[in-house]
Amino acid sequence: MGRGQVSPPSTFDINRERMIEEQLIARGINDQKILDAMRLVPRHLFVEDAMQAHAYGDFPLPIGSGQTISQPYIVALMTMALHLNGSEKVLEIGTGSGYHAAIISRLCSKVFTVERIDGLVGRARKVFDRLRYHNIVSRIDDGTVGWPAEAPFDGILVTAGGPRIPEPLLTQLADPGRLVMPVGNQDAQELQVVEKRDGVITVQTIEQVRFVDLIGAYGWPN
Ligand code: SAH
């Protein structure tokens, strides 16, 4: 390619743009910064090679160890509920593939992400390094106890479903701050958006969802 020329779009690029149009914009995701982040982040790099052709489909995908990467629309919806403006410190519980952390990292100042399964964290870190997403730090731990040393967090994103919002996360949420989490039983949950403002906590439900289990001290027992 000569100077000033750009490479032709790949099948992944075409599928990603279709995902933006048909799964996000068509369903009312209208935050331009979120759409741009989802245009930028190569979702196919976060799934196993055998799954890459399906990476931009309108469904969750297996990522190994019995876990899943969320459907693109749910990633966008949860991200929108955090109301990020670029300056925030965000805590994510459930790194999984690393895809959602990657999206958030383009929209805030720093992401702290916690995952309980060792092998998943290692793989996600490799992708963050490859993409040079240097504002994401990760650790292996039970995320239901939060990350006390780095609290408070302006935003907290829980990407696994639990019976209730873990108390330590509410404590570690900044004021003002927003937390998004699927809450319910192990078959179905509602996506709850918690807002802390002037010491007052309000909870709103935005969608019916189905996530893998949040397992830990303040989640489901192992
Ligand atoms: N955000 C992820 C979604 C992964 S699925 C992505 O974009 O791919 C949810 C993840 O939460 C799983 O990987 C699961 O192992 C993890 N998880 C469940 N309970 C956890 C806990 N207590 N602490 C940290 N991670 C947990």
Model confidence at 3: pLDDT above 80: no
Model confidence at 105: pLDDT above 80: yes
Percent of the chain's residues with pLDDT above 90: 96
- Looking up residue 186, the CATH number of its domain turns out to be 3.40.50.150
Q: What is the pLDDT of residues 29-70, one digit of tens each?
A: 999 999 999 999 999 999 999 999 999 999 999 999 999 999
Cis peptide before 62 (omega within 30 of 0): no
Q: How far apart are the first and last CA of the chain?
A: 53
Give domain status of residue 45, yes or no: no
What is the pLDDT at residue 2? 56
Give domain status of residue 168, yes or no: yes
User: How far is the C-alpha of 207 from the C-alpha of 18, rounded, in Å?
Assistant: 23
**Positions marked active-site:** 70
For 191-204, give one letter per residue: b (16+ CB within 10 A) or e.
bbbbbbeeeeeeee
Q: What is the mean pLDDT of residues 125-154?
A: 98
Give domain status of residue 181, yes or no: yes
Give domain status of residue 215, yes or no: no
Give domain status of residue 26, yes or no: no
- C-alpha pair distances (Å), 51 with each of 76, 80, 100, 125, 198: 21, 26, 17, 19, 45
Quote the pTM value: 0.96
Residue range(s) defining the domain that contains residue 186: 63-209
What is the pLDDT at residue 93? 98
User: How far is the C-alpha of 41 from the C-alpha of 204, rounded, in Å?
Assistant: 29
What is the pLDDT at residue 7? 85
CA of 97 to the centre of ligand 1 (A): 9
What is the pLDDT at residue 5? 75
Q: 148: burial class by Cβ within 10 Å (0-12, 13-18, 19+)?
A: exposed
| Coil vs helix vs strand at 101 | helix
pLDDT averaged over the chain?
96
User: How far is the C-alpha of 45 from the C-alpha of 151, rounded, in Å?
Assistant: 30
How many structural domains are present in the chain?
1
Give domain status of residue 41, yes or no: no
Give domain status of residue 58, yes or no: no
Q: What is the pLDDT of residues 164-196, one digit of tens each?
A: 999 999 999 999 999 999 999 999 999 999 999
Report which protein residue has its CA nearest ligand 1's atom 10. 94
Q: What is the mean pLDDT of residues 199-203?
A: 97
Tokens of 52: 């890459």
CA of 121 to the centre of ligand 1 (A): 10
What is the pLDDT at residue 23? 98
Q: What is the mean pLDDT of residues 143-165?
A: 98
Q: What is the mean pLDDT of residues 84-104?
A: 98
Report which protein residue has its CA nearest ligand 1's atom 17. 94
Give domain status of residue 200, yes or no: yes
Residues 6+ apart with CB under 8 A from 182: 158, 160, 161, 162, 189, 190, 191, 192, 209, 210, 211
